Each structure stands twice: as C-alpha cells, then as structure tokens.
Homo-oligomer: A and B are copies of this chain.
Amino acid sequence: MPSAFTTNMRFKFSLLAIFLEALIIVLFGIFVRYQEDQRITKDDLFLYPFFQDVHVMIFVGFGFLMTFLKKYGFSSVGINMLIAALGLQWGTLVQGFWHMKEQKIHINVKSMINADFSTATVLISFGALLGKTSPVQMLIMTILEIAIFSCNEHLVVNVLRATDTGASMTIHAFGAYFGLAAARVLYRSGLKEGHKNEKSAYHSDIFAMIGTLFLWLFWPSFNSAIAETEYLQQRAVINTYFSMAACTLTAFALSSLVEHRGKLDMVHIQNATLAGGVAIGSCADMDIYPFGAMLIGSIAGFVSVIGFKFLTPFCSSKLKIHDTCGVHNLHGLPGFLGGLASIIAAAAHVRLKGTDSPSAPMQAAALGCTIGIALVGGAITGLILKLPFLGQAPDENCYDDSVYWEVPEEETHLVGQFSDSEDHRTINVNV
C-alpha cells in the first residue's frame, strides 16, 4: 500500500482535532461573549424553535440522508456530526469577525442559527466526496470552506446587498459547486467503472428516508429563520411549504416517467423531493404568490430528477466529476435555479417588503460571485486535500466504514467468509 494511502489516523486525526478544539477555545476566550442583557424576554427566545428545526436538519437531516450507502452508514452519520460540531464553533468565529462590537463577538440564538447554516455548506460538499475521503481531510475542508463561505456571504449580503433569505445561492449553490470542484481535483480514475460498495441496501435506503423527511419537514424553518420581520417570516414559511409539496409531486412523477418500466427510484425520492426547498430559498420571503412558489418547486423537482438520470452519469464519465450523493442535482442546480428566480422576480419588481424590491443586477452578481468563489475555493481546497499524508483510503476500500471505524465483528467475519468463496452461495449479509 503506497504511503499516500496510509489510513491509520491514530495520531494525525486525534492531534489535529485536539489542536483545532484548543485553538477555537482560545479564540472564544478572547473574542466571544454572550449577548449580555438582563432585559432579554420571551421575544428574544422566539427564534429558538426555528433554531431547533435547523439544528435537526443539520445533524439528523444531512446525516441520515447520506446513510443510503450499504456499508458507509457510520461515516455518513458520524463524520457528518464531526463536521457540524467543528463547523458551528468555527462558523461562530468567522461569521462573528464581520460583525464585532468593541472587539467582541456577541452570541445569541440568531448567531447559533447562522453558525448552523455555515456548517450546511460543508455537509453539502461532503456529500459530493462521500466515501472517498478521510476524516482528517474533512476537518481541513471544514476550516477552509467555512472561512471562504463567510467571505462570500459577507460579499453577497453586505456588499452587493442581494437578498437570499433561504440561501439558495450562498449555502446550496456554494456548497455544491465547492464540493464538485474539490471532487474534480480529487477524481480517482480507479473508480470510473463504479465500485461494488457504492450501492444502497434495502434498510439503508429506509435509514436515508429519515434524513429526507426531517429535511423536508423543517425546510420552512430553514428558509424563514432569519427573515427580517414576522410578516416576511410567515411568507417564507408558506412559500416553502407549498414549494416542497409541489416539488414532491413532480419528483415522483418524473422518477416514474424516466424509468422504462415506470418504477420509482429511491434516489430521486430521497433527494429530488427536497429540491423545492432549495430553489425557493432566494425568493422565499418575496411576494411571489403561493402559486409562484409551487411553480418554482415543480420546476426544481423536474430539473433535479433529470439531473440524477442524465447529468450525473455524464459528469462522472465525461467531466471526471464523481458526485457520490448527487449534490449537484439537489443543491447545485436547484440553488442556481433559486438564484435565477430571484433575478427574474427582481426584474419583475416583485415586492419584498412594502414598496421595496431587490435589484436584478445585484442578484445576478450575487449568483455569479457565489459560483465563481465556490469553484475556485473548492479547487484550491481539493489541491490541499490531495496532500499525500492525509489518510485517504485506497480505491478498493472506498465507501467502506471499516477503514476508519471499528465495525461489529459478525459482519466483517461474514463478509470475509462469504466474499472469498466463489460459488453461488456468496452473500453479503450487509443487505
């Protein structure tokens, strides 16, 4: 096994994680304070249920959505948790640096929501790389991606003054294109024929539906949590609710339509049903009428299934971009679509609040910047992750938890026992 593939993480991983945690604690000691005000009332905790919904999406939603691979559930849900736990601390710092008062970052429920949001970008990129990277690489990507994300977010929101309440652009498109660029750099030609473990099993597909459903259910909270007023918040809730419902119908319809026997494909149901939440993000609090939200959702469901069916195989074989979870179809294309919808809405002078309307050129600039910065940032991050001592698994051990995790004995035993035999009784009880 070449040294580039030493997967023993004992010291690299643990020392890096402890170093990062120690560094963050020191930085918190210097910079971070409670939003200290004894006049805090129930109103200040009003956002707490919205925060909790987002929190569930990050850890249960993203985590379980990725458990669809038959032998990679520990990593999906575990490394997802690791990334999010590191990311929310780091995100609090790097987002806070843009908004310091008297050299201090003051934290409250809203800053916790934003910290959780920042981790979503990394979790999306993680989806593109799933099964092909080491936990050490993911710690590094978390640090780099959230730093770049917070710069782009500052540019979009505070410099360009674009609107992106539900973050179609700044989170979804950003995370997807960042991850795809990194996946391109980390492309493994050895996997171009596919991999025996890159498959779901019956139960793992049901585990993944836990992720799908909690994402689906709490997306209205995600898109409305940081809306400026309660009035806009209610509108974002309603638009997202109906966009997701419409998207679900379209995704089911298309899934059946593109398969020659008309069967439904779990990959589409797990992912494309969520595209409506992504695509409505930028326009979530605009006065686009409920039917407008449903139109956007329907188109997103359509585009997402088409992407899974035709674009993902094309990207993998022709563009050398292998996207394990299909994040391009769930976050990339629908995120782009969301940006586009916000440009059109702005051009059509759709009201945001009162007579106020966002500016079409600024929305377009936001979309362009986001994708450009994501692609460049992701490519550079990919190059850094390629450093040979970061513990990547060799091709044959991809999509396999047992490289980085203690896996229950029976299974290993059985798989070993049976997969060595060449007769027709060969089974993989992992099913």
A residues bordering B, Cβ < 8 Å?
8-15, 17-18, 20-21, 24-26, 28-29, 32-35, 37-46, 48-50, 52-53, 55-56, 59-60, 63-64, 67, 70-71, 73-74, 77-78, 81-82, 85-86, 88-89, 107-109, 112, 135, 199-203, 205-207, 209-210, 213-214, 216-218, 221, 229-231, 233-235, 237-238, 241-242, 244-246, 248-250, 252-254, 256-257, 259-266, 269, 273, 287, 289-291, 294-295, 298, 353-354, 404-411, 414, 417-418, 424-425, 427-431
Contacts and interface: CB of A to CB of B under 8 A. Distances in A.
Contact of A206 (B9, B67, B205): B67
A427 B414 contact: yes
Given A85-B248, A199-B409, A201-B408, 7 more contacts: A10-B262, A41-B230, A52-B218, A60-B210, A266-B406, A414-B427, A414-B431
A34 B290 contact: yes
A109 B234 contact: yes
Contacts of A418: 427
Contacts of A34: 234-235, 238, 287, 289-290
A-B CB proximity, top 9 nearest: A10-B262, A85-B248, A17-B253, A14-B257, A29-B291, A28-B291, A14-B253, A9-B262, A21-B249
12 contacts: A9-B256, A9-B263, A28-B289, A28-B291, A29-B291, A42-B43, A48-B49, A81-B273, A202-B411, A259-B406, A263-B405, A410-B428
A411 to B, nearest CB: 5
Contacts of A417: 424
A244 B59 CA distance: 13
A21 B253 contact: yes
Contact of A430 (B52, B202, B269): B202
